[in-house]
């Protein structure tokens, strides 16, 4: 998911080209399905030589493409910098992130651990409803909805990310309405 309300939406169904292999606490592995030339035309950021893609989770992310011959290439983004990449690889990154977060419901910012807190609120800076998950230390995960119009709609959207028994309303020190998950 991208910030500032500019969420990437791949043309077509990303399940046509990707399948989840394994989601680990700090890494996600997806398989690139065999593709023909028509599929490549529909998803031009995919290459018929791609076999697997791994993405490191957390504040600093590395996307690694493993080709069928075993060779690899990678690039990074997030905390600590980013690798300059082509528009084609930028679109690959966006499609992979969309598949992992929106199809598989895995937050890439979140390194799996016990959730201490989760909050929902309307982020006026982005004009979007936001979910923030907090763990130990600095570990946080974020998810923004580009469709929710109310707290109730957002609470339904975040069910795959947060298994809350309910939500408790409170007013933040900034004066905005917030809801804290009851685990």
Examine the domain organization and report whether 129 and 97 are in the same domain.
no
Last residue of a domain, one of 103, 136, 151: 103
Q: Is the predicted pLDDT of residue 6 greater than 50, yes or no?
A: no
For residue 1, being part of any structural domain is answered with: no
Examine the domain organization and report whether 59 and 138 are in the same domain.
no
For residue 108, being part of any structural domain is answered with: no
Higher pLDDT, 122 or 137: 122
| Rounded mean pLDDT, 40-45 | 94
Q: Where are the beta strands (DSSP E) in 8-104?
A: 18-23, 27-32, 50-56, 60-67, 72-78
Examine the domain organization and report whether 76 and 47 are in the same domain.
yes
Examine the domain organization and report whether 89 and 123 are in the same domain.
no
Last residue of a domain, one of 78, 103, 128: 103
Tell me what percent of the residues of the chain surpass a pLDDT of 90: 75
Spatial contact of 138 and 130, defined as CB atoms under 8 Å apart: no
- Predicted pLDDT at 8: 57
4 — pLDDT class (breaks 50, 70, 90): very low
**Count of domains observed in the chain:** 2
Last residue of a domain, one of 50, 76, 103: 103
- Predicted pLDDT at 21: 98
| Rounded mean pLDDT, 129-149 | 88
For residue 166, being part of any structural domain is answered with: yes
Range of the domain at 139: 117-182
37 — pLDDT class (breaks 50, 70, 90): very high
For residue 111, being part of any structural domain is answered with: no
Instruction: Return d(Cα 57, Cα 106) in angstroms, integer.
Output: 10
> Per residue in 99-110, pLDDT tens?
999 999 999 988
In order of 69, 155, 162, 172, the CA distances from 53 in angstroms are 14, 31, 26, 40
Examine the domain organization and report whether 47 and 86 are in the same domain.
yes
Strands 177-182 and 166-171: antiparallel
- Predicted pLDDT at 9: 63
Examine the domain organization and report whether 18 and 89 are in the same domain.
yes
């Amino acid at each position: 998911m991208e910030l500032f309300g500019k969420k990437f939406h791949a043309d077509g169904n990303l399940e046509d080209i990707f399948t989840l292999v394994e989601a680990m606490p700090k890494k996600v592995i997806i398989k690139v399905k065999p593709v023909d030339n028509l599929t490549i035309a529909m998803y031009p950021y995919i290459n018929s030589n791609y076999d697997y893609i791994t993405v490191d989770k957390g504040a600093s992310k590395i996307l690694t493409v493993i080709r069928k011959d075993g060779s690899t290439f990678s690039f990074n983004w997030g905390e600590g910098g980013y690798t300059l990449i082509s528009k084609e690889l930028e679109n690959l990154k966006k499609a992979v992130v969309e598949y992992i977060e929106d199809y598989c419901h895995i937050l890439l910012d979140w390194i799996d651990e016990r959730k201490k807190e989760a909050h929902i609120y309307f982020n006026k800076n982005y004009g979007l409803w936001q979910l923030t998950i907090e763990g130990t230390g600095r570990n946080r995960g974020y998810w923004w909805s580009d469709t929710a119009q109310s707290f109730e709609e957002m609470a339904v959207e975040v069910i795959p990310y947060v298994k809350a028994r309910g939500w408790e309303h409170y007013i933040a020190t900034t004066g905005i309405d917030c809801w804290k998950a009851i685990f």
